A and B are shown apart, each in its own frame.
Chain A
Amino acid sequence: MLIAGDAFTFIIAWEIMALVSFLLVNHESEKKKTVSAAYQYMVMTHIGTAAIMVAFYLVASSAESFSFVDMSNNQLTGYMKDVAFIFAFGGFALKSGLMPLHIWLPNAHPAAPSHVSALMSGVMLKVALYGFGRFAFQFIGMDVFWYGLVVMVMGLASAFLGVLYATMEVDMKRILAYSSVENMGIIFSAFGCGMILYAMGLPMLSAVAFTAALVHGASHSLMKGLLFMSAGCVMHATGSKNIEHMGGLAKRMPYTALFTLIGSMALSSMPFTSGLVGEWLTLQSFITFAQQAGTPELRLLVVFAFIVLGLTGATALGCFVRMYGVAFLGRPRTGIVEKAHEMPFFMLAGLGLEAVLIILVGVMPDFLVNIMQQVVSGRGMTLMGNPLGIMWGGSGHYALYSPALIFIVFAVIGVFMVAAVYRSSTFQTREVTWNCGTEPTSRQQYSATGFSKPLRRAFDGILNPKRRTTYLRKEHAYFGRKLHYELSIPDMFNDKLYKPLQQRMINYSSAFHKIQEGSVSIYIGYTMVAMIVVLIWGVLL
């Protein structure tokens, strides 16, 4: 698909990708849930393909050719161009899992085997970005302002909502799937920001935003690949995906824990990991946008975008602290952890390779950033990356992201802190945590659900959690009662958008079913009525 030279080849390759990934998701087809997830994925991805085909058709019919070279010289104007853009964006956004269209993603990933999830999240989502980039650069052009705005706002919405839902999940792979939604959101918001800057006539500045999208895309595929594989290792060791059943895995599988820590750090964009590079560039391009924004409304929007992106980053940090902390730290919650074992060397090697790459990119970002910048802007522009870090002077002020400097600062602070601790006459004692006089049990640890409680409270209006408390037994008024507490967080879009849509589809279909009951004589009757109508029409006209 990447080397496709015309729309036909592109669509065929796209469909092959969709079909093959459907088969991969459907790998464990003996499970009912897997099959339904796979078919949901199939339906959604075909809706996306249909939208992309419409967009290609509109562009190609204006250019009177399906070859990309001719299509880039299309004469599409006015509202037809808007329609083509909306369809293209819808189709590619569906494939990359942006927020209202993400619905298949958190179901397909847990259903698929882990390495397939890694592949899908790492490559397939980015291919959709490539497709959209190609469409935006070549066919639609970016001279219309609101195109970029739509892309940016949708990216921001899915970044924030994605990470919010990720924080609520207890299934490891669903967490990662929602985190993919978040990261694709960040990538698309950077892309949209670039489109806006381009539309404002600032191609040099927009190059930074596009670089940000590409860098974050590359690093996301690294870290999401790592984490999906580590989720696979955990599943292999414990047989469960639910982090509520884990705890203390770090003692059992130290290397997996280390690599997962690196991946989690990267996804919560900590320094020295590749995750920060892309996000930093995204934020830089937002700042640039804020400085170039002409009207107060636009400035307000950028400020809002900034806040949302900051909130996203903070929530992502919380999300991965929760995932890592609950699964790998603390005490074992159930017996499955006791049986867990470290992975064999070759499984760890895959994790280790990606962890090393993440650290490498994080410590020396100049290499990746320079490559991506050359992709976007050609060789003419001064490259941002240098051995010190990334230098960016486009917005009038110089901004610098330098892992080396951060390291020095950290080292100095660390030295001071250690010195402060050891200078005073300190003493150490190890005690059991005080627990009102009783031994703390593993059930008294922070659970995953409990960890995300404050966030759930804060965003109650968005999440709409459904809580149900039932007393199972009531033999005595005061004790011996068993409490059953149920908490579920339905996906907002699933409940408000997809289910009514599905219901309506079914209603319409059953209305059609009445006139199409499979009775042959009724069908002949239709023919007869049609004939009479045609004949009478012929008489009357």
Chain B
Amino acid sequence: MDYLVVFLVLVVFLQTRVTDLKRAVICLASQSVIIAIACFVIGFSHGSDIHAVMPGVLTLIVKVIFIPGAVYRLVKKLKNEREIISASNVNYSTMAAALFLVMGYALVERLMPGSAGRDIVAASILMIMTGLSLMVLRKRAIIQIVGLITLENGIYLLGLLMTEGLPLVVELGVFLDVLIAVVVLVILTSRMRLSFMTTDTSVMKKLKG
């Protein structure tokens, strides 16, 4: 579990530095892999029936294969897409991630002192906040999708840790939610590429009346 936390934090920090879209998607996929492994670990520590395997399998299918696959196919169609001028934004988001990690630990210390899973709770808070900051600070639509999924993963992980296994219906609902959101986002992004020749969301400001 400790190794998982280390890898997770590493991946999240990497995500804040990545400007190449393909690498961002790969980062997302590997992050989801870590989440899936965490699901299996938590599931098997509480029992070994189908319910223990289910979240992990769903995470693997939806968040490791389907969503990064869809986004990756979209990215392959985009050419010459890098975040160009946002070097300062990249630095800001890394700095913010560092602050969020500190904040996460401070929160866990205060809210549940002496708990065994404090590292992973702090990591999930880090993921939530970093996902938000990716959505706010970055301009590319793809990176914003990645931010959304990161946020979603963080919430899912936190929920899993707090409740030690959600009811199956809730989990299915959550996954379908994310799936549909990503499908819509991918469609919109490819439409955006067709209309604007770019996926930079700052051009969308022109649409404002």
Contact = CB atoms under 8 A, between A and B. Distances in A.
Contact of B135 (A524, A532, A539): A524
B104 to A, nearest CB: 9
Given A536-B103, A539-B110, A528 B129 contact: yes
A524 B110 contact: no
Given A536-B103, A539-B106, A531 B135 contact: no
B58 interface: no
Interface string A512-541: 000000111110110110011001101100
A303 B134 CA distance: 75
A519 B135 CA distance: 12
B136 A535 contact: no
A525 B106 CA distance: 22
Contacts of A527: 132
A312 B68 CA distance: 82
Contact of B103 (A519, A525, A532): A532
For chain B, give the interface size range.
10 to 19
Nearest to B137: A521
Contacts of B125: 535
A519 B206 CA distance: 11
Given A524-B132, A528-B133, A539 B111 contact: yes
Chain A interface helix/strand/loop/mixed: helix
A524 B136 contact: yes
Given A519-B205, A521-B201, A535-B103, A528 B111 contact: no
Nearest to B148: A524
A539 B107 contact: yes
A521 B136 CA distance: 5
A57 B44 CA distance: 60
Contacts of A520: 201
Interface string B183-209: 000000000000000000100010010
Chain B interface helix/strand/loop/mixed: helix
Nearest to B96: A528
A538 B107 contact: yes
A521 B138 CA distance: 9
A535 to B, nearest CB: 6
Contacts of B107: 535, 538-539
Nearest to B135: A524
Interface in A479-530: 518-522, 524-525, 527-528
Contacts of A518: 205, 208
A319 B93 CA distance: 74
A539 B107 CA distance: 6
Nearest to B205: A519
Contacts of B106: 539
Max count, chain B CB within 10 A of own CB: residue among A518, A522, A535, A538 = A535
A518 B133 CA distance: 18
A531 B110 contact: no
Interface in B71-121: 103, 106-107, 110-111
A436 B135 CA distance: 88
B205 A531 contact: no
Interface string A131-155: 0000000000000000000000000
A43 B15 CA distance: 52
A536 B102 CA distance: 12
B31 to A, nearest CB: 19
A531 to B, nearest CB: 7
Nearest to B207: A518
Nearest to A522: B136
A524 B201 CA distance: 14
B136 A531 contact: no
A525 B134 CA distance: 10
Contacts of A535: 103, 107, 125
Nearest to A528: B132
A520 B147 CA distance: 14
A530 to B, nearest CB: 11
B129 to A, nearest CB: 7
Interface of B: 103, 106-107, 110-111, 125, 129, 132-133, 135-137, 144, 201, 205, 208
- What are the 10 tightest A-B residue pairs by CB atom distance, in nearest-first order? A525-B136, A528-B132, A539-B110, A518-B208, A521-B136, A524-B135, A524-B136, A539-B107, A539-B106, A535-B107
Given A521-B137, A539-B111, 16 more contacts: A518-B208, A519-B205, A521-B135, A521-B201, A522-B136, A524-B135, A525-B136, A528-B132, A528-B133, A531-B129, A535-B103, A535-B107, A535-B125, A536-B103, A538-B110, A539-B110
7 contacts: A524-B132, A524-B135, A525-B136, A528-B132, A532-B129, A536-B103, A539-B106
